[in-house]
Amino acid sequence: MKHDVKVIKHPLVDCHLTTLRDKATSGAGFRQAVKMLSTLLAYEATANLKTTVRPVETPIVTCDGHDLNRRVGLVPILRAGVAMVEPMLDLIPTSEVWHLGMYRDEATAQPVHYYSKLPEDSPVDVAFVLDPMLATGGSALMAIDSIKKWGVTEIKMLSIIASPEGIARLQNECPEVQVHTCVVDQRLNEDHFIVPGLGDAGDRIFNTIG
């Protein structure tokens, strides 16, 4: 089953995206915009999480409350995905965080998998793959494949900016994975960077440009 891509339409998203795109934005400003947009993405992507009803005593009466009844895993793709973890944990403090390390070989534009913290058993109920940019889709597919092998059956991809090519590749190869993004940009250029994009998200987050 092919899921529709969920694109957030909101004026605050547009404003924070402008901050991200601006080459004059400082590292601190860039990180703050990533945090705000990740929070908005998380709010949308968690809308169908299941809860269990339990009674709670307010200072006035007893009423029905709700608790999440599923184990949630956050899987940031190192290194840029780390910046999206904190806002997710702010919303779901009980989340487990499992890291995957990948980088793009600039000569081939192919992902290289160099680190995994996924356990061999006891998979979470739902996993959120976190990466600010969905470009070629190579790293995302490698991460999703690792998570599937772990045994997770519900996986969602959260990216602030996505390319049409990356989305098409995910929908073709992993149609069951729902993609949540703030914007779908125009295209990939000859160097496989998103246009208009925002440059290298990892370098801008960690002040390692140049």
104 is catalytic: yes
Indicate if 71 belongs to the active site. no
Q: Is 200 tagged catalytic?
A: yes
- Active-site pick, 39, 79, 104, 125: 104
108 in catalytic set: yes
Q: Which of 39, 70, 79, 200 does the annotation list as catalytic?
A: 200
- State the SS3 of the chain: CCCCCEECCCHHHHHHHHHHHCCCCCHHHHHHHHHHHHHHHHHHHCCCCCEEEEEEECCCCEEEEEEECCCEEEEEEECHHHHHHHHHHHHCCCCEECCEEEEEECCCCEEEEEEECCCCCCCCCEEEEECCEECCCHHHHHHHHHHHHHCCCEEEEEEEEECHHHHHHHHHHCCCCEEEEEEECCEECCCCCEECCCCCHHHHHHCCCC
Which of these is catalytic: 108, 153, 187, 208? 108
Residues acting as catalytic residues? 104, 108, 200, 203
